[in-house]
Chain A
Amino acid sequence: MTMTVPLLEVRDLSVTFRTEGVVTQAVRNVSFVLGRERLGIVGESGSGKSTTGRAVLGLVPAHGSVSASRLALNGEDLRHLTQHQWSRYRGRRMALVMQDPKFSLNPIMTVEKQITEAWRLHRRTTAAEARKHAAAMLEAVSIDDPERVLRLYPHQLSGGMGQRVMIAAMLIAEPELLIADEAISALDVTVGNEVLAILDRLVAERGMGLIFISHNLTAVAGLCDRVVVMYGGRVVEECAARDLAHARHPYTRALLAAAPSLDEPRASLASVVRDPAWLT
Chain B
Amino acid sequence: MEVTLDAGVPQKPGVLSELMKSFSIAIKDMKIYYFKPAILIFGILFPVAIFFAFTVGRNVDASALFPGLIALTLFFSTTTVGPFSMPWERLNRTFERILFAPVSVSALALGKTISAVVFGLIMSVVPLLLGILFFGSRVSNAWVLFLGIFIGNASIANMGTLISTFGSKQPQNVMLLLNLIRLPMMFMSGIFVPIFELPHWARIVSWFSPVSYATDLIRCGLGFKDYFGPLISSLVLIAFGVLLFLACVLRMTAWNRGD
Is B a genuine binding partner of A? no
Residues of A that sit less than 8 Å from B by CB:
none
